[in-house]
Amino acid sequence: MSDALRLTGIEKAYNAGKPNEVRVLHGIDLSVAAGEVVALVAPSGAGKSTLLHIAGLLDVADAGTVTLGGQAVTGLSDRRRTALRRSEVGFIYQFHHLLPEFTALENVVLPQLADGRPRGEAEARAKGLLAQVGLEARGDHRPAELSGGEQQRVAFCRALANAPRLLLADEPTGNLDPGTSDRVFGALMDLVRGTGLAALIATHNLELAARMDRTVRLEAGRIG
């Protein structure tokens, strides 16, 4: 299998060169193959969010190389990085961050329109994704009319709307009760397995981590 994501020698510090410098990542090497689901297990403060942001082109490493789908992205212009992030990477966070004034269907349609897809095609894809997570009848509901688990499933669909090569998730079920978390995570895994994309999922839940293909541990800014 080819690597959808490869991080090589990633270094990151905040307030670099100052007395209050904080080194967050220390020479991170990590790869995720196409079709592979990798659990990233890390205690709070270990640098997992920074690592995910660098992998997803939301932040820039001080040193090292980020490669997406075989393309080295280090040194690209902000405009090119933004375009790649929109088309190649899907993000899921602990909180759904849905736009409250739009329906579930519209929340999944909007990123596709931003990427240039015709509205009819965008709506058809959004309906298909919502159906895959059991929300075909809830597309016309706004986020406030949905349960927490339903909102997060809509967020999953939004993350996959533009058919990304890589999915990055930061505690995607961390805000849900255990029973809902288990069901929602199952829906996420079904979506990921059905598309064959690569996924790097940060979680504190070792039971969820065990359901993925491989577990990577991040401690004190280093892969253990």
Residue 151 has pLDDT above 60, yes or no: yes
Q: Give CA–CA dist 67/55, Å, rounded.
A: 9
Q: What's the rounded mean pLDDT across residues 171-191?
A: 79
Indicate the CATH number for domain 37-60+81-217. Answer: 3.40.50.300
pLDDT of residue 38: 94
Work out the angle between the directed axes of helices 119-132 and 178-195 (0-180°, nearest 10). 130
Question: 203, 26 in Cβ contact below 8 A?
Answer: no
- Between 63 and 195, the more confident residue is 63
Residue 175 has pLDDT above 90, yes or no: no
Strand order from edge to edge, sheet including 63-68: 22-33, 3-14, 63-68, 71-72
Type and span of the H or E element at 142: none
Please classify residue 198 by burial: count the beta carbons closer than 10 Å to its beta carbon, then call 0-12 exposed, 13-18 middle and 19+ buried.
buried
Q: Give CA–CA dist 118/109, Å, rounded.
A: 10
Residue 15 has pLDDT above 70, yes or no: yes
Report the predicted TM-score, pTM, of the whole model to 2 decimal places: 0.87
Q: What is the pLDDT of residues 115-146, one digit of tens each?
A: 889 999 999 999 999 998 888 999 999 999 99
Pairing of strands 63-68, 3-14: antiparallel
Q: How many CB atoms lie within 10 A of CB 82?
A: 13
Residue 94 has pLDDT above 80, yes or no: no
Which amino acid is present at 206? L
47: three-class secondary structure by DSSP? coil
Q: Where in the chain are the domains?
A: 37-60+81-217
pLDDT of residue 1: 55
Q: Give CA–CA dist 3/97, Å, rounded.
A: 29
Strand order from edge to edge, sheet including 198-202: 89-92, 166-170, 198-202, 37-41, 214-219, 222-223
